[in-house]
Each structure stands twice: as C-alpha cells, then as structure tokens.
Amino acid sequence: MKHIAVIGGGIVGISCALALQSDRHEVTVLEPGPIGEGASWASCGCLAVGEIVPLSQPKMLMQVPGWLMDPEAPLAVRPTSFLGLLPWFTRFTLNSFPHKMRAIAADLATLTFQATDDFKALAADIGHPEVLVERPILKVFDDDKDKATMGAAFDLAREMGCTIDEVSGQEAKNMEPAIAGDFQHAAILRDWSYVTDPVQLVKRLTEAFLARGGTVKSAAVADFSRDGSVVRSVRSTDGEDIFADEIVIAAGTGSKMLARKLGIRLPVEGLAGYSTLLPESGVDLKHTVFYPKGGFGITPYQDALAVAGTAEFMNLDAKPNWRRAEVLVNHARRVLPGLNTTNSERRMGRRPFTPDTRPVIGRSARLANVMFATGHGQLGLTLSATTGRLVAAEIAGRAPHVAIEAFHPDRFSRRQNYSPHGAH
Ligand SMILES: Cc1cc2nc3c(=O)[nH]c(=O)nc-3n(C[C@H](O)[C@H](O)[C@H](O)COP(=O)(O)OP(=O)(O)OC[C@H]3O[C@@H](n4cnc5c(N)ncnc54)[C@H](O)[C@@H]3O)c2cc1C
C-alpha cells in the first residue's frame, strides 16, 4: 500500500482517487475550493463518445480578428489575453492539418470508445448506476448551409466508428416535441449519453471516496520538495509539507503551473465555457440537444435544464464575461421557444486544453513518482473513469486497458524528443 496525493478535486482527480483506493492505496485529495467546482461543474454533462474531432481548424488564425471583435460570438478571444496566448494558439492551429486531425481523432476514439463501460463500472461501484442516462443526443441545424458546417467532422467521426444518423428536422421534433418546428435537419449521435447532474455526480463520488477512508484536504499546492527525480512531498500555500509515495497531478488548468515547478513544460490553457441552470424551464426534454451554430447544448438534468457551451480563449486569471452566459440563454430560445428562464444560476468553467486536444495521462520520464491526469479539454467528464483506471494501472504496474502512449506528458518537450504520430 502506498500513500498517494492527488492534486485537484475535479471530476478527473476524484475519479483517479477512487480508482487508486480500489487498489488499496491510502489516498489524499488536495483541493483548495469546493470539490467539483472547477471546470467540472459547468459541463454539459455528456459522455461525449465520438467527440473526437479537434477544435483546431484550418484557417483558424484568419478568423481570429472576427473573434477579437465579437466578445459574444460562440467562439471568441479575449483581446487582452491574445498576445500571451499566441504561442499556444499557433501550436493549436498547426494541429489542424488533415493528417494531424485524423491522428488526433484516432487517439481520442480509442479512449472515448472505452468511456461508457468505464463510467458505468464506476457508477455501479459507488452504488449509483442511475447517474447515467443512456440516451443518444440530437444536433439540430437551421438549413443545408448550417448542416454542411458539420459535414467533415461527421465524416471523420464515422470513419473512426461513430454512429451518426442524419434525420429531418421533423423527425427530431417527433423525438423532442419542445424544440422549434423550423429546423430543416438534425443528427442523432447514438454513442453519446448524459449524466443526471455533474455536481451531484462529483458529490456521490466524493462521498464514496470518504466512506472508504479517503481524505480530502483543503489546500492549494504551491510547490514540491524533491530528491533528484523523486518528489518527496507536496507543499501547500500555507507551507505545510504533505509526504507521499506517489503524486497525481489532476489540477485541470492549474496543472501547468505545477508541472513548471517540476521542470515539465505542459502547455495547458483554459478554454472558458459558460452554463446556465434553469430550474423552472417549463420544458420537458428527454435528450441532450446541441445547436452547433450557437456553440451550446441543452441537457435535462434531474432538477434543471442546463444550457452550456461556447468557447472563449482567455488567460487563466481573466475574469468571466457573464454576458456570454446571458447570450447563451437567449440563443437557447431559438431551440426551445417555450423556455422559461426564471431563477437561473450561472456557472463558468475553464476546460483544460492542450494544443493537440489530447489529454495528458502518464508519467514524465524525468520524474519517478509523478503521474499526470489533466488536459482533458472538452472531454473531462467523458474520460474521467477511464483516466482513473489508467492512472491506477500505471501506479500498480499493470498493463493499461487502452494504449496511452499518445497522451504522454513529455510530448511537448523538445528535450525529450517525443512525438506521438508527429503531433506537437
Ligand atoms: C461549458 C462546458 C461544457 C462542457 N461539457 C462537457 C461535456 O458535456 N462532457 C465532457 O466530458 N466534458 C465537458 N466539459 C469539459 C469538462 O468539464 C472538463 O474537461 C473537466 O471538468 C475537467 O476536469 P478536471 O478535474 O481536469 O478539472 P477541474 O474540474 O477544473 O478540476 C481541477 C481542480 O484542481 C484544483 N486545483 C487547481 N490548482 C490547484 C493546486 N495548485 N492545488 C490544488 N488543487 C488545485 C481546482 O481548484 C479544481 O477544483 C465542459 C466544460 C465546459 C466549461
């Protein structure tokens, strides 16, 4: 049995903690804020199996002026953050060459196709299988032109094995009578599912972790003490040293700073998204409905409808632009004309994004006892249970149940000369 410190109490950190506990380790989660209220609480709640086509697109750099000018667009760049983000953004854009996009999609497919089984096993293990609603999701399109924007992404996803049925807007309305009647096209993504409430989910996972003897310590990690390649302890901002045999860095966007303290270059930036919970929506929805043109999805949680999405490139310390959450809800009325927005609750989360859209899962060759579990971008909830299994397997010395070479933390470092499929 080892003592393992997991840094970060988001959906990824707590899933790793539970998986490590199953191997009978003594686990401490270090989290300065409430558990699960980082990126995790703003999510759209989907197990987005097949959401594998990278967000980086060819010609992206040419679109940046438009994104800088319109702070309320589905994709925007905060002008004050732009220069600082330029190096990351350039690498992100360079990953949009077709061969790189295909390699990224293939790598993400290997993980996401494992996600539902892993998630169901985790939910069953904590005694709450009901947190997962196994129902496909819908994407709706205004007209031919709008549908065509998804054509290449659908083709690539299908090539990787995803099941996407294209239907008419009327067929979508037959499935979900509350949606507007003038959508011309829709698609049913059959591999996806959603959770009843991501905050409740993290709460249930945390309860199980604590009931099994785990410890949650309210602390932000500021530094480490090292002995060569071995990290002996993590040091909190209060100066306390917490000794551990193994350390798991699962701090979402905070992982970049922690990696830097250990001499590892981890280009994880925050791609902010917003969500609004509508507890009195007055709308009966059974499936998650995405409106790609607006950059958001609407998920029927147990006690509220969640409208979540959009993407804003901004510095990690930039303040939320709550106007984006308002715009999101206004656009949601395009999809659900009968939407009531009384007593809404707004949230913001920073998706931890790498320039190649792949998560970071594994050990750096330079550190003997540190695992990374971060950079999950738009897939953190989807891949939480799978990541937990992979982290536990690595620490136990077991073979991983899916190949993780492509997610290696050293792939960003020139000195390591590491290159999965040539993607940098
Ligand atoms: C609008 C929106 C919609 C989304 N929809 C989906 C979806 O439908 N499906 C999906 O799979 N994903 C979705 N995502 C992405 C998903 O939410 C993230 O990928 C996921 O939450 C990342 O989880 P995490 O645990 O890595 O990070 P976080 O949830 O951010 O947790 C990291 C934790 O680390 C802590 N931390 C940071 N620094 C330190 C430190 N120095 N010491 C100690 N603790 C530290 C933070 O306080 C935080 O609690 C969405 C995200 C957004 C914003």
Q: What is the pLDDT of residues 240-285, one digit of tens each?
A: 999 999 999 999 999 999 999 999 999 999 999 999 999 999 999 9
State residue 60's pLDDT score. 67
Amino acid at 357: T
- Which amino acid, 103? A
What percentage of the chain has pLDDT greater than the value 90?
A: 83
CB 321 within 8 A of CB 71: yes
Q: Is the CB of 359 under 6 A from ligand 1?
A: no
pLDDT band at 77 (very low <50, low <70, confident <90, very high): confident
> Which of 11, 40, 360 to mutate to test ligand 1, by most ligand atoms within 8 A of the CB atom?
40
Q: Which atom of ligand 1 is nearest to the CA of 288?
A: 8
Distance 182 CA to ligand 1 centre (A): 35
Contact criterion met (CB below 8 Å) for 243 and 3: yes
Spatial contact of 243 and 233, defined as CB atoms under 8 Å apart: yes
First to last CA, the chain: 37
Mean pLDDT score across all residues of the chain:
93
pLDDT digits (tens, 9 = 90+) for 83-128: 899 899 889 989 989 899 999 999 999 999 999 999 999 999 999 9
pLDDT classification of 417: cutoffs 50, 70, 90: very low
Q: Estimate the crossing angle of helix 11-22 against helix 198-211, to 10 degrees.
A: 30
For residue 266, what pLDDT is reported? 96
Residue 126 token pair = 């904590």
Q: Is 300 in the pocket of ligand 1 (CB under 6 A)?
A: no
Residue nearest to atom 4 of ligand 1 (CA): 43
The whole-angstrom separation of Cα 334 and Cα 141 is: 11
Instruction: Provide the pLDDT confidence category of residue 414 given band limits of 50, 70 and 90.
Output: low
**Amino acid letter, residue 74:** P
Phi-psi region of 109 (alpha: psi -120 to 50; beta: other; left: phi over 0): alpha
Nearest CA to ligand 1 atom 18: 380
Domains of the chain, start order: 1-56+96-133+194-268+354-424 (3.50.50.60)
Supply the residue whose CA is at minimum distance from atom 41 of ligand 1: 221
